[in-house]
Structure formats: structure tokens, C-alpha cells
Amino acid sequence: MIGKKLLVGLAHLDRDEIHRNVEKVIDETKPRKVGLEVPRDFNNGMSIYFFDKVENYCIQKGIKIFPLVEQTAYEELNSIFTAINLIEKRLDADKSKAKYLELKRDLDYHSNNSRTFPGTILTLISSIKSIEGAFDMVNNYSSEQIQERWTRDLRRYEQSMVDSIKRSKPDVSFMGRFHLHPVNTELCKRGLEGFNTLDLTQTNKVPFLSRRLF
């Protein structure tokens, strides 16, 4: 790893684009340890759509991966995000219920299949918990209360990333771009200054990274 540790912001939109950008950063900085905005169970084989290719690339390079998010914080924030989308009609309630029932059927099948990889079950359980939490909020909380929970739990979510970075000290940490500034600010407050930041949504060019940042 060249120079200071690096925090990298990504847009959670295009999995292939994420992979290409992350690969360029990894090739340029040559980290020994990488932090990813994924929950703890990721280490137990849980699949995260945006980062599955990144995981494989790190494994090929012999790079150790450190999940940055506490498992419960990950599931609860997903629940709130889903609830907000349901309330604002960006998600269809009937389709979400159908998806929930499909996930339950999949979990029942895989739980009784000895050949199922444990990470598949963990992924299904996490997805089911997130949807159940969303339905509970939509049925029992006002929009204002859900927004308050979003603000509170988002801070908890980002705090879990800060705690993980402090504990595991990855050379490069990849996260959603909107977490970049709050996480860096909190690291500075805790006396962990000296991190460089790179928002990959603001530039399409990653080459010569070390010359620009280190």
C-alpha cells in the first residue's frame, strides 16, 4: 500500500461499473487489507449483489476483506429504506409481498437441502428480516417517525463503519459515496486523521491515483 489509507465513495447503481472502478483502485494502491460496506455475515458467505465480483477479485489477489457494517444495523437500515420506498410508491406493495413470499419459500427449500451453501441461507434470512421490518414500519409508524428512524439509524450505520475501520485498519475502504464525508469526519473526531478520500462518482479516471493523492 502506498502512503496514507484511503476511503473510496461509490455509486450503488451499476455492479459492473463498481467492479471496474474498484479493480482499478486496488491495482493502483496494492492494498493488503480492504474494507467493504457489507455486513458481518459477509465473512460467512452472505452474498451482496454489488460486491460479489469485488470479493472474488480480492480473493484472487490474496487481499483480506473486512466487512465494515454491523449486521443488525445493515438489516434495520435496509428495512427503513424499503419502508420509505413503499410509502413514496417507488416500490409496489403487492410486488413486495410477492417477493417476500418467494424468499420464504426459497428459505424453506434451502434450509432442508443439505447441499445448500450456508451463505445462501444467511442472505435469504437477512432479506426476509429487512422486508418484515419494512412492513412493520409502514403499518405501525407515521412517515415522520420513519424519517426520524432513518436519521438515527443512518448515524448508527455509519458509526459501525467507523468502528470497523478503527478496529481492522484496512488500507482501502469502499463505501457508498454519501457515507464518505460523515465517516471521514467521525474518524477525524476520534483522532484518526490522515485518510485520503476519493469519490469515484465525481471522476471516471482512476489511473495515476498515487500521484494525485499520496
State whether 135 and 164 are in the same domain: no
State whether 46 and 117 are in the same domain: no
Distance set, CA 26 to CA 63, 89, 209 (Å): 9, 38, 10
State whether 187 and 164 are in the same domain: yes
DSSP secondary structure code for residue 63 in this structure = P
Residue 195 has pLDDT above 70, yes or no: yes
pLDDT-derived band at 92 (thresholds 50, 70, 90) equals very high
Tell me which of 151, 169, 187 is where a domain ends.
151
First to last CA, the chain: 11
Report the alpha-carbon distance of residue 22 to residue 20 in Å, rounded. 6
Residue 139 has pLDDT above 90, yes or no: yes
Residue 211 has a pLDDT of: 34
State whether 180 and 141 are in the same domain: no
174 in any annotated domain: yes
State whether 28 and 44 are in the same domain: yes
- Of 37, 18, 108, nearest in space to 77 by CA: 37
43-81 pLDDT per residue, tens: 777 777 678 788 888 989 999 999 999 989 999 999 999
Among 11-20, 32-41, 153-162, the minimum mean pLDDT is found in: 11-20
**What percentage of residues in the chain have a pLDDT greater than 70?**
92
State whether 80 and 136 are in the same domain: yes
1 in any annotated domain: no
Residue 214 has pLDDT above 50, yes or no: no
Residue 95 has pLDDT above 70, yes or no: yes
Tell me which of 120, 151, 182 is where a domain ends.
151
Q: Taking residues 78-94, what's their average pLDDT?
A: 94
Residue 131 has a pLDDT of: 95
Q: Please state the domain count of the chain.
A: 2
State whether 158 and 65 are in the same domain: yes
State whether 119 and 166 are in the same domain: no
146 in any annotated domain: yes
Q: Which domain, by its residues, includes 93?
A: 72-151
Amino acid identity for residue 11 in this structure: A
- Of 188, 153, 198, 174, nearest in space to 57 by CA: 174
